[in-house]
Amino acid sequence: MAQKTVSSSKKPIPHGLSADDCVAMYRAMVLTRAYDDRGFKLQRQGRIGFYAGSFGEEATQIGTAYAGDEADWYFTSYRQPGIALFRGLPLQTMMDNLFCNSRDVVKGRQMPVHYTGRQQHFLSVSSVIGTQIIQGVGCAMGIKIKGDRGVVFTYLGDGATSANDFHSGMNFAGVTKAPVIFVLVNNQYAISTPLSKQTAVEVLADKAKAYGFLGIQVDGNDVLAVYAAAMDAKRRAEAGEGPTLLELKTYRAGPHSSSDDPSRYRTEEQTQHWLERDPLTVLKNHMISFGIWDDTYETCFVEEANAMLGDAVKQAEAVGEPSWDTLFTDVYTYKSQTLADQEQDIMAHEQGLDLKNEGEFPL
């Protein structure tokens, strides 16, 4: 029988949310963490080549994703799997990307954790720092010019505030009052570079002042605070009041990626200090105070997530690699003669033929 844990002084649920909303947020955060855990394990087992996790940053993802809807657009980095999952990108599609198999949307051309989903308005992830900033602003400017509904959520890390695209994107957004929300996930480190060596500004949200719009610093480990701030930013964007810079102060509790060893540049004490405010624990404590916590959530949602992940891994691993001819698809709208010549030459090579072409390989 389910066990309810209730605070002695029950508090109201804020921000117009319901008990079901809180449960849905917690469930999504559990799935995001389980997905990260599985991704790292798959890489360590040699079954996929790379993984970049978001352990400790779940509230930044689910809080903002919960504020969005089907009309909104998402330009993320490689550290927001929870956004893709929550906004409807199928788990199997994401797992196929990790394995770079023949069902992978990008046909193995991207690294793992570089997702994309046309129907979900989830734009292709790039490893290049900051490129999504100007892309997101361009999309938001297009929405405004066309008079379409929706806003753009553009995600970046603290390290990206040093990129040229940050200045360009922020400046254009401020001038045009583009309906874009810059979600600055300040997780304290850009790989091994601490925030203190990244910028002299103490509050990254203050950078918005230079571009003429609002910047707000939010507790990035509190999903309810993130959601409230994201909803306010979305309301302003939809009302034509322009962009908002949301600095979500959090901590990357895991390594930068499967290629990183964080023990070389930060202490275990620092990590433990931040883990005392684990986003899942913060939301759990909120739910206890609201009188809506069920003790079965911790185990049931983890078991549910692991079962889903196990099935997705099994299916992804059973699918073969993309065939060589996918090199020539999704390159141009119409296949050029040069591309067709290259395809014919490789096809002949695969069949063991010698065409004895005159001249060089077509470029």
Residues 181, 106 within the same domain: yes
Beta bridge partner(s), residue 122: 74, 117
Q: How far apart (Å, rounded) are the C-alpha atoms in residues 31 and 81?
A: 10
Note whether 235 and 342 are same-domain residues.
no
Across 51-79, average pLDDT: 97
Mean pLDDT of the chain: 93
Residues 9 and 118 in one domain: yes
Q: How many residues does the chain have?
A: 363
Do 284 and 354 lie in one domain? The reply is: no
List strands edge to edge, sheet with 152-157. 73-75, 152-157, 180-186, 244-249, 214-219
Are 331 and 312 members of one domain?
A: no
* Same domain as 308, residue 328: no
Indicate the pairing of strand 293-294 with strand 4-5.
antiparallel
Q: So what's the pLDDT on residue 1?
A: 40
The CA distance from 193 to 252, in Å, is 12
Q: Are residues 213 and 291 both part of a single domain?
A: yes
How do the residues of the chain divide into helix, strand and coil, expressed in percent and rounded to 5? 50, 10, 40
Residue 357 scores a pLDDT above 90: no
Provide the pLDDT for residue 320: 92
The domain tally of the chain equals 2
Query: What sign does the CA torsion over 287, 53, 63, 195 have?
Result: positive
Last residue of some domain: 317, 335, 351? 317
Q: Which of 280, 301, 317 is the last residue of a domain?
A: 317
Task: Note whether 283 and 142 are same-domain residues.
Answer: yes
Residues 250-306 have pLDDT tens digits of 999 999 999 999 999 999 999 999 999 999 999 999 999 999 999 999 999 999 999
Distance of alpha carbon 251 from alpha carbon 54, whole angstroms: 9
Q: What is the pLDDT of residue 353?
A: 66
Q: Which sequence positions are flagged as catalytic?
A: 252, 256, 265
Residue 180 sits at φ, ψ, to 5 deg, of: -130, 140
DSSP-derived pairing of the beta strands 180-186 and 244-249: parallel
pLDDT at position 330, please? 84
Q: Are both 208 and 267 inside the same structural domain?
A: yes
Strand partners, 210: none
Distance between CA atoms of 23 and 175, rounded to whole angstroms? 40
Separation between Cα atoms, residue 37 and residue 112, nearest integer Å: 15
Q: What separation in angstroms does the CA of 330 have from each of 97, 273, 327, 333?
A: 16, 47, 8, 7
| Containing structural domain, residue 338 | 323-363
Q: Is residue 134 pLDDT above 80, yes or no?
A: yes
Weakest mean pLDDT among 13-17, 149-153, 221-225, 276-280: 13-17
Can you tell me the distance from the alpha carbon of 55 to that of 73, in angstroms, rounded to the nearest whole number? 24
Q: Looking at the structure, do residues 335 and 280 belong to the same domain, yes or no?
A: no
At residue 24, the pLDDT reads 98
How does strand 244-249 pair with strand 214-219?
A: parallel
Give me the CATH number covering residue 249. Answer: 3.40.50.970
Question: pLDDT value at position 361?
Answer: 46
Could you read off the pLDDT of 315-335 as tens digits, one per residue?
Answer: 999 999 998 888 888 888 888
In this prediction, residues 16-45 reach a mean pLDDT of 97
- For residues 266 and 295, state if they share a domain: yes
If asked whether residues 81 and 226 sit together in one domain, one would say: yes
